[in-house]
Amino acid sequence: MRIHNKQNKLESRRKLRKESTPQEIILWSRLRDKQLGHKFRRQHSIGNYIADFYCPQCKLVIELDGHQHKEETRKEYDIERTRYFNALNIAVVRFWNNEVNKNLEGVVLKIQECLR
C-alpha cells in the first residue's frame, strides 16, 4: 500500500508549495539541491499528513511551526502526527519560525546533526 505522495494529497501539496511561508522559503533555500549532502523534498505527504520537508535517505521530517502550533488542539495533532512518523521509523525535528528568522545557521547545524 502506497503511503508516500498519495494522489489524493497532490492538490494540497501543490497549494502548500505555492503558499510557502517566508520561513519555509528561507529554509528551503538551504536544503534544496543537496546542499547538505542529502536530497530533501518539500511538502511531501506521508500517509494522511504532509511534512514541510522530508529527506527519504535519512528518513527525517523537518517541521516549521508558527504561533498556531501553541494552541492545545494543534499540539495534540502534532503529537499524533509525530507518533505516526516515528512508527514508520521516520525521525521528526521541529523548529519555530522564529528560530529560522533569528538563528538560521543554528537550525542548519541541528539539521546536519540529525542527518548523521
Q: Indicate the SS3 state at residue 39.
A: coil
pLDDT digits (tens, 9 = 90+) for 101-114: 999 999 999 999 99
**Is the pTM here over 0.85, yes or no?**
yes
- Helix (H) or strand (E) holding 44, with range, is strand 41-46
Dihedral angle over CA of 21, 85, 110, 33, nearest 10: -60
> Does pLDDT of 5 surpass 70?
yes
Q: What angle do CA 42, 76, 52 make, to 5 degrees?
A: 5
Number of other CB atoms surrounding residue 11 within 10 Å: 9
pLDDT of 96 reads 95
Each domain of the chain, given as residue ranges in start order, spans 7-115
Instruction: Give 12-35 pLDDT, tens digit per residue.
Output: 999 999 999 999 999 999 999 999
pLDDT, tens digit, 9 for 90 and up, residues 64-92: 998 665 666 778 899 999 999 999 999 99
CB contact at 8 A, 43 and 17: yes
* CATH code reported for the domain at 7-115: 3.40.960.10
